[in-house]
Structure 1
Amino acid sequence: MTPLWIAIALLLLPALWLLVAPMRGSRVLRDQLHHFEANDTSAEQNVAIFRRRLASLEAARERGDIDDARFAEDRLELERSLLEDTAVQTKRPLKTATAGRIVVPLVMIAVVGASTFWYQQHGAEGDLTLYAIQQELRSDPDSSLEMYLERMEAEAERQPNNPNVWSALFPLYRETGQPDKADNALERLIAIEGRIPPLLAQLAQLRFFMAGRELTPDVQSLVDETLEQDPRQPTVLGMLGVYAFDNGDYEAAIDRWRRALANIEDSNTASSLREGIRVAQERLGITPEIADVDAAQSQGVRVTVSLDQTLVDNVEDGATVFITARDMEGELPPLAVVRGQVSELPMTVVLDDTAAMSPEAQISQVREVRLMVRVSPSGQATPQPGDLFGDLESVSVGPISEDDAATVIIDRIFE
């Protein structure tokens, strides 16, 4: 942690220098102010102006241009103006150049103290400590999982409210065969992060295996809470597939594992689920090759496409219709593409892995897609001005149902 505090100190130095900088020129500034005030003749100039105006006023009275009453009134106004002009010239004595210097070190101490306190409250000092422990043990040839666990338990006592500590301890306890401690670590993590689906799913899975792969009331309650927030949560779906498989309900196991497979990112877990599906298919007497095709088609989106009546005259029946599914972030190639013709509209198609353009970008890899439909009179894949299009955001990917289809209306012209 020493390099961190050195870096913080280096960052504070410019701020402290800015606090001290005005004091370096304080003596020069005071001398300039003193010289200005010593040579200031504005008061004498105001008095001279007053005397000239008063002389003019008296001459006017002697000539008979004004009477005594008007003279007295105008003279009073001149005197009042002189008082106002000279009053603002009254200055307080200049303080010494060293006056108030004691405040600067106090402010500097306050800045350093406030910065340190803020970092301790909101900074990542604890996470940096965890990283340092990991790096230290990786570089130590004599390190072991038990040593790592011991160090992390010590950090848990030192930083009980750091979620990264408990998220590290939970798998360590699980891998070392300490399910009760793993359960406690996960409970602590949920208390800090909230009852979010991924954590609830892991807790349900842990207690499921602790209960001998049984859906106890406690496990079922966690499952219900998780699926209520996220019906596609893969950890829970995978666990439910295991329960169905153990009870001989192979069709339910296949269905749940397929749904979990569509929303999982870890390749090892995905391989385990595919193997489980294969074994369940064999138990049902289904040829795995045929089942694999069915599985590929089971996850996707059914789409009904129609053309807005106001645009019917803008396109010919032979124009090409591109129906595309893309990831919500737009970072991947098109996940699925189906072609058709305007003469087929309205039409219903299925976008699944069989319509993928690349094995690396398939619709079963995501949970939601954006549907984009474009009518191209030229048949080109690149959008052209005058093409018609329509789209639909945030369409869920899941088991394809005959009764459930997303609707996209082609209702705009591409400029």
Structure 2
Amino acid sequence: MIAFGVIAGVMVVLAVAALVPFLLRQRRIRAGAASDTRAVYRERLAELEAEHERGNLAAAGFAEARDELEREVLADADRIAALAVAIGVPVAAVSLYALTGQPGLIGATSAQQLSEQAVQRYRQMAPGERIGPLQDYVENNPDAPRAWQLLGQAYRAQEQFGDAFSAFQRARDAGDTSDGALIARQAEALLLANGRDFTASVKRLIDEALEAEPRNPLGLLLAGHAALSEGRNDDAIRHWSTLKESMPDGDRRRQQVERLLARARGNTDATAARERTGSDTGGGRVTVEVSLDPNLREQTGGDTPVFVFARSAQGGGPPLAVARTTVGALPARIALTDDQAMMDGRTISQAARVVITARASSSGSVEPQPGDLEGQSDPVEVARGSSTDVVIDRRIE
């Protein structure tokens, strides 16, 4: 952009320098006359009239001299107008481009501006097949925001959430930092990399996304979940109602949003009931700090999925809450709540105490397999604010 400005400025100066001598080459109306064209005209006209009245200038000569004077005045005005145009047009063009154009694209090569055909070609590939070629592309074209976005989406589809977050950040750095949809994708990637924990960084990105695009669907969806996780049921209802209004009647996603709204309204009713009765049943939450024993890190890859789940400390049974992250995102802080229940009617808030298990699954299966890495907590009380640590420190044989 700076180089473009310097080159454009030099070209304008050269153009004006070439035009000005030509425009000013005509003789002045009168040597030493004032610069005001009208004053010069009046002075010369007065001289002609005086000569005519003294009889030194015949009527025909007076008329001819007056016409010549008028032509000179008009020519001088034309030269001034031409000079103004020569200077004003380039300045106006540069100013208009700065206001309405895309100066940020100046200096970008055609390779960095990924063509629509290339975008469609990448999208026709499976996400796993797309990653390698896109990695090669951005290595050679690091300032290609569209390519970084496609790479981030491929990482997201492959559940490489940490890599997706980084790719979306590179897309923002290389392109428009106020793209609401892109910021929302970045917020989602960070949320998933953190085991669905709405950290301060995640919430800040959600706020940025909605500030840039107030009705962005993903931003509204995430904002509703963030509000619900903090017990702000009315805010969750507001965000999801806005999301529902933006969807056409035939959109299948409306049913999902309606279920979310029903849950938020149910939580609101339950909260009101607890306030009336003074009880505090329901709404359990356990925060888990999950880490991997350094001695086992070489036995697994960064994209290996990690399942974190809670079971009742009495009787075991199916998990009451499940979250997912990756080895590459560890250590991670993960919140297990009723929103992560696997079965309706079986939530973490129904248990007095739970045991937390974290398992790095080399096969990608939730069920334990030989070779998986696992760690487990001691029984922990279920209540808002409860926390525990789980270190993945043993191998399943």
Which band: TM-score by shorter chain? 0.3 to 0.5
TM (normalized to structure 1)?
Answer: 0.33
Asked which structure has the greater CA Rg, the reply is 1
Normalising by the residue count of structure 2, what TM-score does the alignment of the two structures yield?
0.35
